[in-house]
Amino acid sequence: MLTESYWPATNELPLFNRSCGEALRIAAHAVPTRIALVDGQVDPTLRRRWTYAELLTQSERTARALLTHFKPGEHIAVWSGNSPEWVILQFGLALAGMVMVTVNPAFRVAELAYVLRQSRASGIFHQAEYRGRALGAVIEEAVAADKLDLQRVVCIDDLARFIEGRNDLALPVVEPSAPAMIQYTSGTTGQPKGALLNHYSVTNNARLMALLKGADADTVNLAVAPLFHTAGCVGAILGSIQTYGAIVLPPAFDAESMLDFIEQERVSFTFAVPTMLIALLDAQAQRPRDLSTLKVVFSGATIVPVEVVRRVEAEFGVRLVIGFGQTESSPGITHTRLDDGPRDKSETIGRPMPQVEVKIIDPTTGATLAIDHPGELCTRGFLVMMGYYDMPEATAAAIDQDGWLHTGDLCAMDARGYCRVTGRLKDMIIRGGENIYPREIEEVLYTHAAIAEVAVFGAPNQYWGEEVGAAFTLKAGATVTSETLREFVSTRLARHKLPTLWFCVSEIPATASGKLQKFRLVERYRAGELASSAI
């Protein structure tokens, strides 16, 4: 049992020195005829399938085509929703020794221009249309407005045409230490930064996370996490590839379709953030499907209420596991285990993964804290990013001289090494000199029967500096007043922690991975956009 909040790296699972492309080659050699990838079309007759051998062949052809236009080491952007072509391009770039720059397809002109400029992308592969927007036209506008120099712009929907024809170019040797991708941070606190991740960090992180979830060659993974995020292209894709499982890849999350996929494709594993879990539970109650093959569901990004944990495990007959991490850590840091109880799955983020070193420090002094004392979670080891691309000052602020990545997340570690998130360092509210941790208030509000989702944030106040604001969404058919919620919290927390501002909203702004963007709520409050929602 621990006496201080420090967990040494353990070696119960090994690290492998391989690149992303090599990981695919190993799988294709081991299980060439096994299905690797399924196109998640709603109509089963339209679902294309690739064996591991076929996926490798297509990826190598893509790599050779890429080398006719770009050089190894160049940065190539991918701007698209989920599709099999995205996966083929991901491995093609890896085999060609190029650095993949992932871009959120929901980005507008200025956001796209920023990422292309900051990453120094030489080219971009884009989806023809995303949610009614012609992405090619948006690229043209961004290039013109920002005077960007892109050597090649290719529609990913035409990837087959891009790689057609014979090409005998030799593929380069790609070292595991080489950069694999630039992943832009989720943006929970402002302008995104490009985390530069190498092949060694992402392949090992993905494989360790997959093994902790019990993944093996019989696993069928319904991969709904966005591929432009590490949860998708690292956790889902590289995790499945290295355990020789199959990936069913729908274009986006839809509760009804997901349940159909589970039944039709005999899915055994999937990912869902809490709001998705609730939607799945409701959809299954309305029209039950055969979910007997589903064994494990992975969640994270935000708190999973204990009643949701219990419902998912009971109604779906699965084991829920929780993970915690960030883009800068490739991404996984901690993980619950399959046999953990509901309380650990709802109240903790598990204990550090194998080969991962973690400590909780005093943010002011840097001293390692005693167990159960909240402080900043820091991690060290293979998982830490190479740095923020072309941002040396930001890199130095995030990674100290001893190699510790300072996550900015406030956590407490218990005597078993299990960690509990208490908030974000930048989210901490200082009201009249008192430090208030939003997570503590959120955990109380999540126990109220009417609350579906909640985000507590610091609202600017001339007298107090900040006052406590709470934005929340309601469960279907529920109603509640601010007076009722205030009284509910007052019986459980000290008076200075009570929210003084209550906002019932239609949705709480979040990143694609489900992390709440509280700075957006602050911006809306400053602009007076939340006032009309106050109750």
3-state secondary structure (DSSP) of residue 327: helix
Q: Which two tokens stand for residue 354?
A: 């194998």
Average pLDDT, the chain: 93
Note the pLDDT tens digit of each residue in 192-249.
Answer: 799 999 999 999 999 999 999 999 999 999 999 999 999 999 999 999 999 999 999 9
Sorted by sequence, the CB contacts under 8 Å of residue 390 that are 6+ apart come out as: 118, 120, 194
Strands 356-361 and 375-381: antiparallel
Using CA atoms, how far apart are residues 140 and 87, in angstroms rounded to an integer? Answer: 25
Question: Does pLDDT of 252 surpass 50?
Answer: yes
Note the pLDDT tens digit of each residue in 115-141.
Answer: 999 999 999 999 999 999 999 999 999
pLDDT at residue 301, as a whole number:
66
Note the pLDDT tens digit of each residue in 203-219.
Answer: 999 999 999 999 999 99
pLDDT at residue 421, as a whole number:
86
pLDDT at residue 493, as a whole number:
84
Question: Does pLDDT of 314 surpass 90?
Answer: yes
pLDDT at residue 188, as a whole number:
46
Q: What separation in angstroms does the CA of 5 have from each of 144, 331, 345?
A: 52, 21, 20
Mean pLDDT for the stretch of residues 349-369: 97
77, 116 Cβ separation under 8 angstroms: yes
pLDDT interval class at 92 (50, 70, 90): very high
Mean pLDDT for the stretch of residues 356-381: 96
pLDDT at residue 215, as a whole number:
98
**Amino acid residing at 515:** K
Using CA atoms, how far apart are residues 299 and 287, in angstroms rounded to an integer? Answer: 23
Sorted by sequence, the CB contacts under 8 Å of residue 2 that are 6+ apart come out as: 371, 413, 414, 415, 416, 417
Note the pLDDT tens digit of each residue in 456-497.
Answer: 999 988 778 789 999 999 999 999 999 999 999 988 887 888
Give 3-state DSSP helix, strand, coil % of the chain, rounded to 5.
Answer: 35, 25, 40
Side-chain-side CA neighbours of residue 34 (13 Å): 20
* Sheet arrangement for strand 375-381: 6-7, 356-361, 375-381, 405-413, 419-424
Task: Identify which has the larger pLDDT, 338 or 304.
Answer: 338
Strands (E), 148-234: 152-155, 179-184, 194-198, 220-222
**Amino acid residing at 36:** A
CB atoms within 10 A of CB 137: 11
pLDDT at residue 191, as a whole number:
66
- Considering 146-160, 176-190, 505-519, the range whose residues carry the highest mean pLDDT is 146-160
Question: Does pLDDT of 499 surpass 60?
Answer: yes
The least confident of 52-61, 62-71, 83-92, 417-426 is: 417-426
Residue of 321, 275, 332, 331 lying closest to 299 (CA atoms)? 321
**What structural domains does the chain harbor?**
1-10+200-376+408-426 (3.40.50.12780), 20-174 (3.40.50.980), 427-533 (3.30.300.30)
119, 77 Cβ separation under 8 angstroms: yes
